[in-house]
A and B are shown apart, each in its own frame.
Chain A
Amino acid sequence: MTDSSVNSAEFKGASGPGRRIEIEPLTRVEGHGKVSIHLNGAGEVDEARLHIVEFRGFERFIQGRLLWEVPVIVQRLCGICPVSHHLAAAKAMDQIVGVDQLTPSAEKMRRLMHYGQVMQSHVLHFFHLSAPDLLFGFGAPSEQRNIFAVIQEYPELARRAVLLRKFGQDIIEVTAGKKIHGTGAIPGGINRHLTLQERDRLLAQVDELTQWCRESVRIARDYSEQHLELIHRFGAFDSNYLSLVRDDGMLDLYHGVLTAKDFMGHPLFAEPDLARFNYHLHEEVKDWSYMKFPFIASIGPTDGWYRVGPLARLNNCQGLTTPEADAALTVFRQVLGRHCGDSLAYHWARMIEVLHCMEVIGRLLQDSDLLAGERLAKGERREEGVGMIEAPRGTLIHHYRVDEQDQVTFCNLIVSTTHNNTAMNRAITQVAKQHLSGKPSLDEGLLNHVEVAVRAYDPCLSCATHALGQMPLQIELVDAQGKCLQTLGRSAQEVTGG
């Protein structure tokens, strides 16, 4: 993927002459998206919209599959966070096979897998995708806003980030059985323990990596404290928040009560029966995006939208169950407020979760239940199951029905990025109004500000497919009457290996 293409076209809108600017594709987010910015005749920004061609059809692909194979197959949905889909599907299938409580070994192995995945996902986003913006500035030359410039400037930091990623991937491999297409979580439990050698190899790295996580939190904190004014105005707004919260109010990424709170922290609902999620959450469709807009049903579509992910989780919980990350959360709240609405605060929140994950991993690796113990539980068979998990980007929901032949008859997936749809559109509209309105000319650095607002949410727009030589981008310039003025595409290159 190359730099975002920037195009503009004059058009006559309903309120007079105007101009629309499109940025496509968004860089350093997963998958392909497009932002269109609508200017009025005075050059002021009216609205900015994030358009996403959402991955569709997977639910139908799952229908007819046997319940035992679903946790493996769903990993093909996304190349970025397959473990989240693996675990959410396994949790749903636990319900189908009548298991409400896993054995200690099974739950701890799954937790280890999940916390390893969240840690490595956050590290990649912070150090490789967002660091160029944070270290060099949103408006820096595009050739500098790149991880390769970060490596040249901070080589040790970059190497550490790679090693943290590798550690997370190693955890996934030993808990899931394979790096990709893992089979570790099965309906009702797990199919393997850790070997002593696997456990010891991971445990030997924990102290050093935890120190790096502490330093990562420090980097995010320093950045935030040095840029407070920017953070408080750049994509900053009140919203509702949604996440799983442990029944005692503490953060839990694997399981909990589905909890929504408003911008002041007042509870909107707290649903312990996750199968009732669709009683609380509804979805709205808009004609300009393939991605739906979820909202809290009791409030309605206008004001019922919400945010998910690291910031939402830290806002919703009372605290963290690990001491160092909990102390970091206290500082976070002292600096940014108890209920923070700043999009850029997602970065610091993400790093606090990285430290929390590493502390949890360190604890789990000392637990003998990972090495031995019952792996499977049994129960009364059911027809329907909902699996929910806090994926790196937010709440992930898998909902299935299975018939008496063990075949899936219904599948509905609500992925994390979809929950943040309205919030991302709000963020880019605000940023566009602040930074683009009335400018005599628009350059790539200025437009990167809009992309920074989207990247704060670490959206995953991926459909996990690619093939060399395909043409992933298309730019359409369409006038106010819907007429396509121009279509542009990056020319495909013949494969030469270079």
Chain B
Amino acid sequence: MADGREALLVMGIGNPARGDDAVGPGFVDALERQACPDLLPQACYQLVVEDAMTLASVGTVVFVDACSRLSSPFVWAPVVASTDPRIDSHALAPADLLALTSLLYGRVPQAWLLAIRASETDEISEGLSAPARRALAQALAFFRAWAGMAGSK
């Protein structure tokens, strides 16, 4: 990648041992199977403070996470830095991470949230439910089109 600030960072958030919470890492797995020079897929359990350094070095970030309260398979929405940020845990919310990035490094990337419908995130289990698998496939298709990866599998 010639310039890190042009890079597109995709952060798939979730725990693979918690059922549909794995849609975020699953999204990243799917992206990692195809080479794309400007795309930086990264799976994580949660967003943490040092992710601010990474965010400050890229042009765009997409946070991919499970959401149990969606009526549609996925939601795509811009994320802006929180105006009332909180860090009460080792884990950060996307808007708070952007606020932290701005405060520490004076810049924030363009940011999007891709929330994917999930239904079973409380139980300890591996593998996605059938509805989550379908929602993940739809979200991947949408993302590939958005990122100019049309035709990729």
Task: State whether these chains interact.
Answer: yes
A467 touches B50 (CB 8 A): no
Contacting B at CB under 8 A, from A14-72, are: 27-30, 57-58, 60-61
Stretch at the interface among A105-113, A152-160, A382-390: A152-160
Q: A495-B113, A495-B115 are in contact. Are A2 and B104 (CB under 8 A)?
A: no
Checking A124, A148, A465 against B103 with a beta-carbon cut-off of 8 angstroms, the contacting residue is A148
Contacting B at CB under 8 A, from A68-83, are: 73, 76-77, 79-80, 82
Q: Which 10 A-B pairs have the closest CB atoms?
A: A497-B77, A79-B45, A76-B17, A469-B69, A27-B88, A497-B113, A468-B67, A465-B18, A467-B66, A165-B50
B149 in the interface, Cβ–Cβ < 8 Å?
Answer: no
Measured in the bound complex, the distance between the Cα atoms of B22 and A181 in whole Å is: 13
Instruction: Encode A129-159 as 1/0 by CB contact (under 8 A) with B.
Output: 1000000000000000011100110010011
Measured in the bound complex, the distance between the Cα atoms of B142 and A67 in whole Å is: 40
A464 in the interface, Cβ–Cβ < 8 Å?
Answer: yes
Checking B46, B78, B112 against A79 with a beta-carbon cut-off of 8 angstroms, the contacting residue is B46
Chain B residues whose C-beta falls within 8 Å of the C-beta of A151 in the assembled complex? 100, 103-104
Chain A residues whose C-beta falls within 8 Å of the C-beta of B136 in the assembled complex? none
A470 touches B90 (CB 8 A): no
Measured in the bound complex, the distance between the Cα atoms of B53 and A27 in whole Å is: 24
A498 touches B124 (CB 8 A): no
Measured in the bound complex, the distance between the Cα atoms of B44 and A467 in whole Å is: 13
A465 touches B21 (CB 8 A): yes
A-B CB pair tally, cutoff 8 Å: 149
Nearest CB in chain B: distance from A361 CB, A: 17
Measured in the bound complex, the distance between the Cα atoms of B15 and A492 in whole Å is: 21
Nearest CB in chain A: distance from B124 CB, A: 5
B91 touches A466 (CB 8 A): yes
Checking B49, B77, B86 against A146 with a beta-carbon cut-off of 8 angstroms, the contacting residue is B86
Measured in the bound complex, the distance between the Cα atoms of B24 and A288 in whole Å is: 35
Not counting A79-B46, A467-B68, a sample of 20 additional A-B residue pairs whose C-beta atoms are within 8 angstroms of each other reads: A27-B88, A27-B89, A30-B90, A129-B90, A148-B85, A148-B87, A151-B103, A155-B103, A159-B104, A162-B49, A162-B104, A165-B49, A179-B44, A180-B43, A465-B122, A466-B46, A469-B67, A496-B77, A498-B79, A498-B95
A497 touches B79 (CB 8 A): yes
A495 touches B77 (CB 8 A): yes
B88 touches A470 (CB 8 A): no
Contacting B at CB under 8 A, from A99-132, are: 124, 128-129
Can you list 19 contacts pairing A with B, beta carbon distance less than 8 Å?
A1-B88, A29-B89, A61-B124, A129-B87, A146-B85, A146-B86, A146-B87, A147-B49, A148-B103, A155-B103, A159-B104, A162-B49, A162-B50, A464-B45, A467-B21, A467-B118, A468-B68, A469-B68, A469-B69
Q: A468-B67, A470-B69, A495-B67 are in contact. Are A169 and B46 (CB under 8 A)?
A: no
Measured in the bound complex, the distance between the Cα atoms of B85 and A128 in whole Å is: 13
B77 touches A169 (CB 8 A): no
| Chain A: CB-nearest residue to B111 | A497
Chain A residues whose C-beta falls within 8 Å of the C-beta of B26 in the assembled complex? none
B residues within 8 Å of A by Cβ?
Answer: 13-18, 20-21, 43-46, 48-50, 52-53, 65-70, 75-80, 85-91, 95, 99-100, 103-104, 112-113, 115, 118, 121-125
A162 touches B87 (CB 8 A): no
Chain B residues whose C-beta falls within 8 Å of the C-beta of A147 in the assembled complex? 49, 87, 100
Measured in the bound complex, the distance between the Cα atoms of B17 and A60 in whole Å is: 13
A166 in the interface, Cβ–Cβ < 8 Å?
Answer: yes
| Chain B: CB-nearest residue to A166 | B50
B86 touches A1 (CB 8 A): yes
A148 touches B99 (CB 8 A): yes
| Chain B: CB-nearest residue to A132 | B87
A273 in the interface, Cβ–Cβ < 8 Å?
Answer: no
Measured in the bound complex, the distance between the Cα atoms of B122 and A466 in whole Å is: 9
Measured in the bound complex, the distance between the Cα atoms of B77 and A494 in whole Å is: 12
Q: A1-B89, A169-B50 are in contact. Are A497 and B121 (CB under 8 A)?
A: no
Nearest CB in chain B: distance from A148 CB, A: 5
A495 touches B104 (CB 8 A): no
B17 touches A61 (CB 8 A): yes
Chain A residues whose C-beta falls within 8 Å of the C-beta of B14 in the assembled complex? 465-467
Nearest CB in chain B: distance from A484 CB, A: 22
A466 touches B21 (CB 8 A): yes
Checking B69, B78, B85, B103 against A492 with a beta-carbon cut-off of 8 angstroms, the contacting residue is B69
